[in-house]
Structure 1
Amino acid sequence: MKVRSTMTVVPTLVACLTGCAATATAPAEQAARHFYLAVESGQGQRACSLLTPEAAESLSTGGQTCATTVLGLDLPGGRARDAQIWGDEAQVRLTGDTVFLHHFPQGWLVRGAGCRPRGERPYRCEVES
């Protein structure tokens, strides 16, 4: 009898842990998706509002606004493949990109997008803070 109840508990526990992890990363994944939806629909101002202040400022160069610059970048986007969270930092891997986010009181904001791995060196990002 004990073996049967233990076998029932283990799959339930595994399912809960898997679901809990997916639930914890959902807000970061959603923030990355909203950023890319804004870019893809030509809403530069909205896209910039989803960036950290430092990342938005880094796109306001050469007399151009963040809203204009972000729409001119070649940001590949794609669907979320996986996400990881470390405290206030998150990484969301999309099919065509890697996005880095930071958690603020108002939620997750993008601090790096259009990021490509470079082996042992840090990622190279089109948008970065």
Structure 2
Amino acid sequence: MTRWPRWRTVYCPSCAALVTGLAGHHLLRRPELMMRTDPLFVVIALGTCFGPAFLDTAPRYMAGAARCSFLMLLVAAFGLGLSHWLGIHPCTAILTFSPGGIAKMSLTAKTLHMGAPIVTALHVFSC
């Protein structure tokens, strides 16, 4: 079986979404009810993962959470610097470098009324 080159499957749709988004045509549409209930199901899934054994490993978990929080502050500072350099909205730049999948970040940008095509394109090209 022949594999498609990466530029055909990833970069071409991203460039098309970027161009159409900058032209004012927004292609990201999901039902409002689905966008409002997604966080609820994420919280339910996370809540079912923890059990009584979690209390034994909680201090080590909190140290890891503190390290991750510090790294996210560094990422946010980088996004702020990038926003001043490129002249884009600071929230868009910070969301661009936030960890997560391309789909989730673009939906977050759409929900928060930010530049979803810019977030998607920079997310793809920073990989």
For normalisation by structure 1, the TM-score amounts to 0.28
Higher RCO (Cα < 8 Å, 6 or more apart): 2
Specify which structure has the higher proportion of helix.
2
More strand by proportion, 1 or 2?
Answer: 1
